Amino acid sequence: MPDGLLLGLDVDPKALALSRETLAPYEGRTHLVQASYTTITKQLASLHWNEVDGIMLDLGASSMQFDNASRGFSFMQDGPLDMRFGPQAFQSAEDIVNTFDEKDLADLIFRYGEDRDSRKIARAIVISRPLRTTCELAAVIEKASPRRGSRVHPATQTFQALRIVVNEELASVESVLPQAVTCLRPGGRLAVISFHSLEDRIVKDFFREQSKDLFNPPYEGIYEKERKAVVKIINKKPIVASDEEIKDNPRARSAKLRIVEKL
């Protein structure tokens, strides 16, 4: 769109700096703001943009964050147990690992990492505290929950769980989706890429619920419409990466793209 305008939100100042460079040729038509996407309504209001044509949410962490050991997302390279997407996060993974009690740690590893060995892992963490680095934590998890023969490192799910809690990822998705639908003009589209099943479930359920007419409870067999559907689902099945794309970019293998159109 030659005269299109773009608002870009990210909590990570490094991601914004890079976007500023990439989008330099479009300066004047782009507004890049260091803020959570949960503030989208406020950000659009401050630009006096009442409605937008499209919203793209690319959820989770970036490769740049994963690959920089100092950010603390990776157990393949040692780094501080940080895992914050941006400075607004009020606690780091180190705070959680070293201060949560054993039951809370087990619950978060089970709920957000979907790891059946959550109790064993939580016990081992508590015994080994204080833990300061990603490799220290990964070694404790590997000892508590060895998975010989598995291609997935035993720390993968605990690291996912910590990241989700540090960055309040699920609550943020739940907050942004209704705002995004409200901000769209009729015919505008919302596209969401998620990278794990917990996120994808929230997106799928929200889209399904918003795409249905809601009824009052039946009265003498007659349903009265209470609210019309707000969106139309564009792709019933999520769009996933092709084998070729996965070969090029293995991280794309868990990406799921869902799209709705505002009615």
Ligand X SMILES: C[S@@+](CC[C@H](N)C(=O)[O-])C[C@H]1O[C@@H](n2cnc3c(N)ncnc32)[C@H](O)[C@@H]1O
Q: Which residues bind ligand X (CB under 6 A)?
A: 9-12, 15, 36-38, 58, 60-62, 85, 167, 172
- Report the length, in residues, of the chain: 263
Cβ proximity to ligand X: between 171 and 229 the closer is: 171
At its nearest, how many Å lie between ligand X and the CB of residue 86? Answer: 6
At its nearest, how many Å lie between ligand X and the CB of residue 255? Answer: 9
Hey, what's the torsion of the CAs at 61, 64, 68, 70, to 10 degrees?
A: -60
Cβ proximity to ligand X: between 10 and 82 the closer is: 10
161 neighbors 108 (Cβ within 8 angstroms): yes
Task: Please enumerate, as own/partner, the contacts of 143-148 that have beta carbons within 8 Å and a separation of 24 or more.
Answer: 144/117, 144/120, 145/115, 145/117, 145/120, 145/121
At its nearest, how many Å lie between ligand X and the CB of residue 12? Answer: 4
What φ, ψ does residue 128 adopt, rounded to 5°? -90, 0
177 neighbors 184 (Cβ within 8 angstroms): no
Task: Tell me the β-bridge partners of 239.
Answer: 257
> What DSSP character marks residue 75?
S
At its nearest, how many Å lie between ligand X and the CB of residue 104? Answer: 23
Measured between alpha carbons, how far is 186 from 42 in angstroms, rounded to an integer?
20
Cβ proximity to ligand X: between 125 and 255 the closer is: 255
Look at the block and give the residue holding tokens 């990439």.
22
At its nearest, how many Å lie between ligand X and the CB of residue 163? Answer: 10
At its nearest, how many Å lie between ligand X and the CB of residue 172? Answer: 4
